[in-house]
Amino acid sequence: MIFEDLTMKLFTLVAVALLPFSLARAAGEEPAFRELKSVAVSGAEFAARVHYDPPSTALVNKPYKRDDVNWTRVLSTPIDRKNPQPYEIHYTEGMSGDPMFRIVKAGASRAAGELAGIELFLPGNGSAYVSGHTNSLFDHRRKFELKDDKLVEVKQAFSYVGLASKALRSITIHADKKLSQPVAIIPAGGALTVVLNEGEHYLIKTPFGLLGWIRYSTSAQQADLIEGLYFKGD
């Protein structure tokens, strides 16, 4: 029994120690991405970029206007290198600074997907990956799979945040999402890391390494609880 308890504690410690590495992989830092080339979107006010598979991509990167909205046709590339069908990648920031990639099958009028974000990754494996702090409270990383000419979002266990920051006011973190079991209090100005997100719940790590949940939701475009955690968008 003692051996089993020690084994379980050791397993938990190893799992927590490896969390940053597993989260980095989940965030899209996959080995295949290192082979991609990158292009800065022409005419973008944000630092928008598209990362693409070089052998099968035709770069365009030309701004144009549609319905008085500025767009850029960035490139044309297959989403899945096993299928040579090209998809055109268009980018816009809309009328009020809402960065978004529109992915359209060549020759089609309807988009396969419209993905809010600032960076788009197209490794040619049948999926599109997008990231960016836009219409969200943090830099949201998402994956979409191409199914029947539609980009369908892949459900994640959690959303990775990875925000090293500080508390703007005192925060109590809890062992449970019902917020009934306090773990630690982080004072105003205290360092912390926002590790994960699930709905209105955020997993917070203290400098010592304690983990606990908070509940937070806001439409304010200025941080009032944790520096860097605020709604950016309309």
More confident residue, 9 or 136: 136
Write the CA distances from 171 to 104, 131, 183, 191, 227, integer angstroms: 45, 27, 11, 11, 12
Separation of alpha carbons 132 and 138, rounded Å? 8
Residue 13 has pLDDT above 80, yes or no: no
Residue 31's pLDDT band, with cuts at 50, 70 and 90, is: low
Residue 4 has pLDDT above 80, yes or no: no
Q: Would the pTM of this model clear 0.85, i.e. be above it?
A: no
29 in Cβ contact with 162 (< 8 Å): no
3-class DSSP assignment, residue 197: strand
52 in Cβ contact with 77 (< 8 Å): yes
Strands lying side by side in the sheet with 191-198: 159-166, 191-198, 201-205, 211-215, 171-174, 182-186
Residue range 15-28, pLDDT digits in tens: 444 454 444 444 44
Separation of alpha carbons 77 and 55, rounded Å? 9
Query: What are residue 86's DSSP bridge partners?
Result: 78
Q: Among the listed ranges 17-21, 91-95, 131-135, 136-140, which one has the minimum average pLDDT value?
A: 17-21
Separation of alpha carbons 217 and 78, rounded Å? 38
Q: Can you tell me the mean pLDDT for 195-201?
A: 97
Residue 124 has pLDDT above 90, yes or no: yes
pLDDT of residue 30: 55
pLDDT of residue 88: 98
